[in-house]
Amino acid sequence: MIKVNEYFDGNVKSLSFDNTVGTQSMGIMLPGNYEFGTSTYELMKVISGKLIVQLPDSNKWETFETNETFEVEKDKKFKVTVEEQTAYLCLYK
């Protein structure tokens, strides 16, 4: 089954699904500033574009570009700045 997700007035949209790897979502973020919260561990991979991320418990902003990944632990918040339309894959564990 495919689930459609929409956040931040439609500026972030994704399709989530389950397979043998686990629960995943693939989506697109439009330019903007966002704060996300996690309910599980998340492994994020940038498919196209770039994300500027402030990871939990950090004051530092890091840039992740195409094919780069970052991890966020369960029950944490992280901030994202998007300068250009960016596609991502998120694996939940």
Residue ranges covered by each domain of the chain:
3-92
Fold for the domain defined by 3-92: Jelly Rolls (2.60.120)
Residue 30 pLDDT: 98
Residue 88 banded pLDDT, cuts 50, 70, 90:
very high
Regarding pTM above 0.75, the answer is yes
Average pLDDT over the chain, rounded to an integer: 97
The per-residue pLDDT for 54 is: 98
Provide φ and ψ at 9, rounded to 5°: 55, 35
- Close Cβ partners of 9 (under 8 Å, ≥ 6 residues apart): none
Q: Distances in Å between the alpha carbon of 61 and those of 22, 53, 70?
A: 29, 5, 12
